[in-house]
Amino acid sequence: MKNTNFEDDDTIPPKARAMLNDMAMRVAAEIMKLDEQPRLQIFVTHGFLELMVSALIKSKTKNGKKILDDNRSYPYSTQILILNELSILSNQQYKVYDHFRKLRNKAAHEPLFELEKEQKNVLDPKNTDEYFGLTCSRLIANIWNDNIEILGPLFLPTLFPKGNGI
């Protein structure tokens, strides 16, 4: 597997090299690298979605720390429901992320998991032939774009330094 750490690549300018090592960029590279492995794309995508959802819970709720410290009472499914109740996730977004959560659970617990044609695009069920990595990227981008002021400094600090007044 190719190393996604760009610190030693002298062909990339230092600022760009630093940005490529930010978590958001490394996650995107990882999803694309796993081209023919949808189960792994699901795991990488869901893992990053969980990090973003946790950041939003911490930032947008009065009891964010309590919610994040008690995964048994407030699992990911409850956290996305809370974000929906706070109108941070729309009803449609909530349905999509809950569907993707269920897909991730299937991928985790079925020993012979295969991504079925109708599951390939959880964002647009009519478009089932699309490259699944793009679907994963869209799932991330939807939350990212709507909450960039919180998520940017955490996961892409080279472009979004804290206190930059985004």
Among 2-11, 23-32, 59-68, 137-146, the least confident range: 2-11
Contact 63/86 with Cβ under 8 angstroms? no
Q: Read off the pLDDT of residues 26-59 as tens digits, 9 standing for 90 and up.
A: 888 888 888 889 999 999 999 999 999 999 999 9
Q: Which residues contact 57 (CB under 8 A, 6 or more apart)?
A: 64, 67, 68, 79, 82, 83
Q: Read off the pLDDT of residues 125-157 as tens digits, 9 standing for 90 and up.
A: 666 666 788 889 889 999 999 999 999 999 988
What CA–CA distances, in Å, run from 3 to 6, 7, 149, 160? 8, 10, 29, 25
Contact 6/145 with Cβ under 8 angstroms? no
Q: Read off the pLDDT of residues 75-100 as tens digits, 9 standing for 90 and up.
A: 999 999 999 999 999 999 999 999 99
Domain ranges across the chain: 14-155
Is residue 163 scored above 60 in pLDDT?
no
Residues of the chain by 3-state class (helix, strand, coil), percent to 5: 60, 0, 40
What is the token pair recorded at 54? 């946790």
Rank 3-17, 37-51, 108-122 by mean pLDDT and report only the highest. Answer: 37-51
